[in-house]
């Protein structure tokens, strides 16, 4: 089966500033003209003509001088391969017989190969669960006694074609364990909603991450699954390819503005190399209700990245098909919630969002609300001083003028 959607937006009428032009010029190599205001975005489910339907979603975002490719798949664990090229004409080539074979190397290519300026991958390998009943330290690592994890390589997933949404440029991978003897997922599912963007904006729901045309958003939602403990905390194990021998770096950014995610002043981002490069970005907050809000906010903890050499990771065929048999993977865990306060146990619901992109990560500026408050706070005293000065000046002038005596 095959499904595709496409949106495009025109350029604005405002001329770019000299600073923007200089920035684009300086970073035109090796990343082409990333940072474009708009892109022509298409979503396509690549059909498997050789057998059963396989979930392979290709998001292609075309700019003036570059193309971004996001290849998402639930072959094995859910994974995405991110590729940036310096041409608007690069294409994805899929060899299904090779991709589905025990040796999938070369089954996935972006052509022409010499146009590739950056490539990496994220693999969501396991759903974690911890018993936090006897844990009082919110910073404890791990946050409780671990239950056996759910391997996402052993999940059964929906047909992604059925969830393509042309209006929002989105699609949803929804799955549950194929082997579920305790029926913990009898009425539940784990969903990964992928959304692309053709221009900059913010979602309506918290944490309202600022996205651009160079990014793709992932929203993870665990809904209706029965926890194995009274106060279970959940998490995700995420693996990525390192650039060279070292793992990517994780940075924290702080702001005084919490309008978009109330009471959250931090932004975490994973960088695959020195800027501009690929990045993943998220706020350290999840939500235990839909829609999310301050009352249902859960803290998130991300562990440091470490080389994944001590234990085997579930393998992704699309990552192996594109990158070959290299095994310089790094992994980290993101856990959601604490033993106290709101949690998954409230409504059996949990959601968390992240951005994935290439170039410079979006930077939150001060919101109009904060700017307005600052203008009032700083402007009112100045205005009072100005008015007071004028009154004193006029008063002094009135009574200091020479009065002649007749």
| Residue range 136-152: mean pLDDT, rounded | 81
For residue 161, count CB atoms less than 10 angstroms from its CB and return exposed for 0-12, middle for 13-18, buried for 19 or more: middle
Q: Residue length, the chain?
A: 406
For residue 389, count CB atoms less than 10 angstroms from its CB and return exposed for 0-12, middle for 13-18, buried for 19 or more: exposed
Q: Is the pLDDT of residue 138 over 80?
A: no
Minimal CA–CA distance to 191: which of 250, 236, 134, 133? 236
| Residue range 183-209: mean pLDDT, rounded | 94
| Residue range 157-175: mean pLDDT, rounded | 95
Q: Is the pLDDT of residue 156 over 90?
A: yes
- Each residue's pLDDT tens digit, 240-290: 987 777 889 888 888 777 778 777 889 999 999 877 789 999 999 999 998
**Close Cβ partners of 227 (under 8 Å, ≥ 6 residues apart):** 129, 184, 234, 344, 345, 348
- In degrees and rounded to multiples of 5, residue 362 shows phi and psi of -60, 140
- Each residue's pLDDT tens digit, 200-236: 999 888 899 999 999 999 999 999 999 999 889 999 9
Which comes out higher in pLDDT, residue 29 or 397?
Answer: 397
Q: Where residue 26 falls among pLDDT bands split at 50, 70, 90? A: very low
- Each residue's pLDDT tens digit, 77-117: 999 999 999 999 999 999 999 999 999 999 999 999 999 99
Question: How far, in whole angstroms, is CA 153 from its chain's centroid?
Answer: 21
Minimal CA–CA distance to 270: which of 246, 245, 294? 246
């Amino acid at each position: 089966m095959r499904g595709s959607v496409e949106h495009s937006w025109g350029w604005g009428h405002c001329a770019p500033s000299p600073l923007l032009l200089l920035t684009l010029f300086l970073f035109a190599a090796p990343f082409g003209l990333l940072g474009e205001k708009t892109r022509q975005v298409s979503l396509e489910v690549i059909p498997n003509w050789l057998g059963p339907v396989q979930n392979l979603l290709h998001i292609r975002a075309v700019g003036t001088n570059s193309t971004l490719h996001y290849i998402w798949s639930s072959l094995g664990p859910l994974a995405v391969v991110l590729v940036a090229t310096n041409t608007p004409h690069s294409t994805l080539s899929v060899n299904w017989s090779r991709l589905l074979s025990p040796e999938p190397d070369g089954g996935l290519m972006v052509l022409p190969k010499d146009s590739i300026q950056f490539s990496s991958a994220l693999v969501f390998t396991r759903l974690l669960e911890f018993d936090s009943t006897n844990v009082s330290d919110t910073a404890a690592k791990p946050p409780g006694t671990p239950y056996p994890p759910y391997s996402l390589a052993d999940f059964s997933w929906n047909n992604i074609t059925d969830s393509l949404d042309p209006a929002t440029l989105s699609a949803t991978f929804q799955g549950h364990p194929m082997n579920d003897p305790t029926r913990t997922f009898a009425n539940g599912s784990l969903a990964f909603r992928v959304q692309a963007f053709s221009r900059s904006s913010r979602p309506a729901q918290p944490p309202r991450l600022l996205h651009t045309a160079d990014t793709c958003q992932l929203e993870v939602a665990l809904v209706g699954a029965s926890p194995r403990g009274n106060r279970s905390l959940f998490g995700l194990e995420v693996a990525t390819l390192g650039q060279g021998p070292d793992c990517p770096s994780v940075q924290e950014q702080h702001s005084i503005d919490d309008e978009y995610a109330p009471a959250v002043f931090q932004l975490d981002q994973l960088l695959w190399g020195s800027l501009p490069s690929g990045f993943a970005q998220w706020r350290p907050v999840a939500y235990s209700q839909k829609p999310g809000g301050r009352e249902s906010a859960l803290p998130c903890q991300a562990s440091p990245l470490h080389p994944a050499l001590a234990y085997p990771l579930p393998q992704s065929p699309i990552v192996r098909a594109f990158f070959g048999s290299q095994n310089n993977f790094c992994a980290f865990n993101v856990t959601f919630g604490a033993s106290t306060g709101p949690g998954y146990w409230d409504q059996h619901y949990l959601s968390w969002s992240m951005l994935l992109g290439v170039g410079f990560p979006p930077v939150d500026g001060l919101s109009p609300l904060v700017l307005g408050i600052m203008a009032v706070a700083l402007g009112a005293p100045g205005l009072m001083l100005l008015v007071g000065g004028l009154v004193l000046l006029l008063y002094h002038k009135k009574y200091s003028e020479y009065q002649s005596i007749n």
